[in-house]
Structure 1
């Protein structure tokens, strides 16, 4: 009887540790990850126009790298808009040399496509120099 109670407590303890580790995993550091996809905005548009469900499944929560022209800068919200099609937010403040019209190469986590605004969304973006 005591062995059964001991094994039961051991199993509960192992399960509790596994659940805790799964729930409180370390956060991803997108800036140090290698990009899963290096693509362009026209290529993203084409994939989403062809089959948006397949494209969403492919890119969602993946680290992607893009190079495009800055069309707007929102310093207060630490965000840029690239080619009027990609809204990317940054964790850190934007450097002073980020201005509209400049070409920028960024890496970030792809969140999805906003059909209402016709924009792709990215967060945890970082500038690749």
Structure 2
């Protein structure tokens, strides 16, 4: 009887510790990660148009790098629109040298495609120099 109780308690401890460690794992530092994919706005559109399910599997939660022209600056949400199709939010305040019409290379985590706004969403963005 004692052996069963000991095994049960040990099992609950192992499961509890595993759940805790999984839930509170360290946050990713996208800025220091190597980009999984280097893409263009046109390339993303083409992949999502041809097969959005495969494109989501490929890019979801991956670090991507892209270069495009800044079309809109949204200081309220700390983000920019690039190539009229990419909405990128920055984890740090927007760099002061970002201006509308400027070509910019960024790296960030791909979140998905917003069908309502017809925009690709990227967060934790940073400027690549």
Q: TM-score range by the shorter chain?
A: over 0.9
The Cα of 1:67 is off from its aligned counterpart by 0.5
Alignment of 1:77-116 (within 5 A): 77-116=77-116
* Alpha-carbon distance between aligned partners in 1 of 2:6 and 2:61, rounded to the nearest angstrom: 42
Structure 1 counterpart of 2:28: 28
What is the RMSD computed on CA atoms of the aligned residues? 1.1
* Alpha-carbon distance between aligned partners in 2 of 1:85 and 1:96, rounded to the nearest angstrom: 22
The Cα of 1:9 is off from its aligned counterpart by 1.5
The answer to whether the aligner puts 1:120 opposite 2:126 as a matched pair is no
* Alpha-carbon distance between aligned partners in 2 of 1:114 and 1:15, rounded to the nearest angstrom: 37
Structure 1 counterpart of 2:51: 51
* Alpha-carbon distance between aligned partners in 2 of 1:9 and 1:50, rounded to the nearest angstrom: 52
Q: Which runs of 4+ in 1 moved over 6 A?
A: none
TM-score normalised by L of structure 1: 0.94
Q: How many residues are treated as equivalent by the alignment?
A: 129
Instruction: Tell me the alpha carbon deviations over residues 62-117 of structure 1, each in whole angstroms, 9 at most, x when there is no partner.
Output: 11000011011112211000011100001110111011011110011111111222
The Cα of 1:21 is off from its aligned counterpart by 0.7
Alignment of 1:3-82 (within 5 A): 3-82=3-82
TM-score normalised by L of structure 2: 0.94
* Alpha-carbon distance between aligned partners in 2 of 1:124 and 1:76, rounded to the nearest angstrom: 16
Counterpart secondary structure, 1:76: coil
* Alpha-carbon distance between aligned partners in 2 of 1:78 and 1:51, rounded to the nearest angstrom: 31
The Cα of 1:53 is off from its aligned counterpart by 1.4
* Alpha-carbon distance between aligned partners in 2 of 1:48 and 1:10, rounded to the nearest angstrom: 47
